[in-house]
Structure 1
């Protein structure tokens, strides 16, 4: 075996689900493993690997992260090449395990076998591949423990669907607050919507009892009671938040970025614009890489921003910009800036940013907690309603915008939430709470912190087994 292949403590495959919100956390965790002497090989799909324009990702204190792709059956266009999301997911289930098996065999032939497969919970077939080769199977949850506990309870028949009977039904799982139907993940609360995604989130638990480790992208203080309950069933460890080190413990120098962007950020424009604004004066609005708002919701958000008369930076993807009201950008050019994409970490950490209007995707919520920015939650679907509940009522770092009978946040509500964040009676409480969570997140990732200890324990297990 070559000397370079003997330098690391263990070699692992990291298999993410092919979406930016899933790849980024697992890539960041891979950087942490590399810094502790583990060799992680990331296995995105062929199309995503091509989009990354590299075969390796450098790490400062460890071996570079190799990219060895597997196939989803759509190597030239990924999900966009498929007829529908359902068709794509079916293709991924067929081609993913076949090409993962081929990769494991190829690495054995190259004299660089792996000890474990760390896989996204959305890809339970990766555990079957691990067991086929006698490898450790490690599931990585990119969503919160409470969300996954709800999915587990549904999958095991412990929560009966649909939720609504003669009256609204609440949902309770151990360690989590009682949730109203609109606060549970939409695939559960709106039973029958997106049946293909419903299958994906429940299948996470189809074979989990065979798993060796369960890793969660949170830090323990976020969901103590839920983690303690899950620990009765599985070897679970919290290893997050998987936010670049620069915004937490700063132990991985120059780790300021996820190294993966599906959209090109307007970095210089955003920075120069923010630099020209006073401290804590800018509202940052972004609904992530996947959410699709209706034209009516765009209209209400736009008018709410106008009547609030507050400075704003609004990320509206190019594919969504046609939904903006005509002349809105021209009419608000002195007040705000609309861009097609931004480096969210840089915007949130800029001293001009005051609050974050977000769909409450879990990565966005984690970034807000870690950087210390209060949140206005406008959840859209999937786990976002549950994240918004925790953000407002458990972590107490922001407020949820109220929707009307059509599910729309009206302009008056937009203005009200913004004013509450910019100078309302709860602003001081929000700022104190985000400062507390920012400190706890940093402590978790500091040397000897709860998440860092858990990563060390995992590394020791990989090394010894």
Structure 2
């Protein structure tokens, strides 16, 4: 799982529980080492977590990305089927029958798993509606790649330059396996009765109107952020409750407290971005040579790409951490700028 894809699904689960539903969040054993148990909340036993096999524990040799994706599909189909059978045969199944599966849009095969169990399911797109629509046009062939002209013209959107498009599309040779994965999201989309999006109508009004004109069964359920930052309807919902990495909470907040309002650039490129040594160095010296303080998230696995002695040289002006409580950081008065890879969540 990727952090930005987990967050909205966890928040959706919390909202469903607040409406009286029992929800089980399912992820893989391979992520269990980095994914803690859900933080204590007011949801009690109605919000549970289960882990299933993705087959990675049996992998001995290196895999290509294509092999990894196919192994994931085959293994999760089997293990998810077993989990659903277990839930349906549980002692409280009569009180809480299994009724519906919400699955990440990148796992379209889960719809077949659900329907073989006699229930329905729906994909959850954790990207913006705009990005999902762009991929749809590529899938349908209404947007040809590589672009035939300098701009991409699509309904409900302004003309887009090549660099405006997702990397998978602006450079189709860069990540072919991920492009295929993105396209597979639409393999059975015409068979679903509902499509969830982590967005809201006032943010993407034109795109939503186009989707509805195509008879897409769209349900906008965003913004999918903790209640304390939104409507404050859910007691104790102050963070997502799941994190792939341990955030340096006290270090980050204490450092920010020492800075003037609007004086800090917060830089973070998510849980997956893999920058080159050259790119990391450019970012490092760009931040150092700016006239602002900066808080930079560099994952533990990426720290060896930093310039030599960089952390020591920026003492006072900058702080480099392996992970941070992003919502709290963005809400802090000292932060005036967010430098990001443009992840939606």
In structure 2, the residue matched to 1:316 is 298
Give 1:64 deviation, angstroms.
Answer: 3.3
Distance 1:46 1:151, change over 3 A: same
Give 1:82 deviation, angstroms.
Answer: 5.6
Structure that is richer in helix per residue: 1
In structure 1, the residue matched to 2:317 is 335
The answer as to 2:89 corresponding to 1:109 is yes
Give 1:192 deviation, angstroms.
Answer: 2.5
In structure 1, the residue matched to 2:237 is 255
Give 1:88 deviation, angstroms.
Answer: 1.8
Number of corresponding residues: 340
Distance 1:76 1:257, change over 3 A: farther
In structure 2, the residue matched to 1:229 is 210
- The 5-angstrom pairing of residues 265-414 of structure 1 reads 265-363=247-345
* In structure 2, C-alpha distance between the alignment counterparts of 1:298 and 1:87, rounded to whole Å: 29
Q: Deviations over 1:18-54 (max 9, x none)?
A: 2222111101110010001111111111222353343
What is the TM-score when the length of structure 1 is the normalising length? Answer: 0.70
* In structure 2, C-alpha distance between the alignment counterparts of 1:63 and 1:230, rounded to whole Å: 37
In structure 2, the residue matched to 1:156 is 140
Give 1:81 deviation, angstroms.
Answer: 8.5
* In structure 1, C-alpha distance between the alignment counterparts of 2:40 and 2:21, rounded to whole Å: 14
In structure 2, the residue matched to 1:406 is none
* In structure 2, C-alpha distance between the alignment counterparts of 1:57 and 1:129, rounded to whole Å: 29
**What stretches of structure 1 move > 3 A for 4+ residues in a row?**
56-59, 61-64
Query: What secondary structure, in the 3-state scheme, does the structure 1 residue paired with 2:24 have?
Result: strand
Contact 2:146/2:170 (8 A) holds in 1: yes
Distance 1:296 1:89, change over 3 A: same
Distance 1:52 1:317, change over 3 A: closer
In structure 2, the residue matched to 1:219 is 200
Contact 1:270/1:342 (8 A) holds in 2: yes
Query: What secondary structure, in the 3-state scheme, does the structure 1 residue paired with 2:77 have?
Result: helix
Give 1:358 deviation, angstroms.
Answer: 0.9
* Stretches of structure 2 lacking an aligned partner (at least 5 in a row): none
What is the aligned counterpart of 2:224 among 242, 247, 250?
242
The answer as to 2:18 corresponding to 1:38 is no
Contact 2:3/2:270 (8 A) holds in 1: no
What is the TM-score when the length of structure 2 is the normalising length? Answer: 0.93
Structure with bigger RCO (C-alpha 8 Å, 6+ apart): 2
Contact 2:248/2:323 (8 A) holds in 1: yes
* In structure 1, C-alpha distance between the alignment counterparts of 2:227 and 2:62, rounded to whole Å: 36
The answer as to 2:77 corresponding to 1:97 is yes
In structure 2, the residue matched to 1:449 is none
* In structure 1, C-alpha distance between the alignment counterparts of 2:327 and 2:65, rounded to whole Å: 29
Give 1:61 deviation, angstroms.
Answer: 5.0
* Stretches of structure 1 lacking an aligned partner (at least 5 in a row): 1-17, 364-465
Give 1:59 deviation, angstroms.
Answer: 4.0
Contact 2:16/2:23 (8 A) holds in 1: yes
Query: What secondary structure, in the 3-state scheme, does the structure 1 residue paired with 2:284 have?
Result: helix
Give 1:178 deviation, angstroms.
Answer: 1.4
* In structure 2, C-alpha distance between the alignment counterparts of 1:119 and 1:305, rounded to whole Å: 39
* In structure 2, C-alpha distance between the alignment counterparts of 1:298 and 1:52, rounded to whole Å: 27
Query: What secondary structure, in the 3-state scheme, does the structure 2 residue paired with 1:231 have?
Result: helix
Query: What secondary structure, in the 3-state scheme, does the structure 2 residue paired with 1:308 have?
Result: coil
Contact 2:106/2:181 (8 A) holds in 1: yes
In structure 2, the residue matched to 1:369 is none
Query: What secondary structure, in the 3-state scheme, does the structure 2 residue paired with 1:66 have?
Result: strand
* In structure 2, C-alpha distance between the alignment counterparts of 1:96 and 1:31, rounded to whole Å: 24
Cα RMSD between the aligned structures?
2.0
Q: Deviations over 1:328-352 (max 9, x none)?
A: 2222212111111111111111111
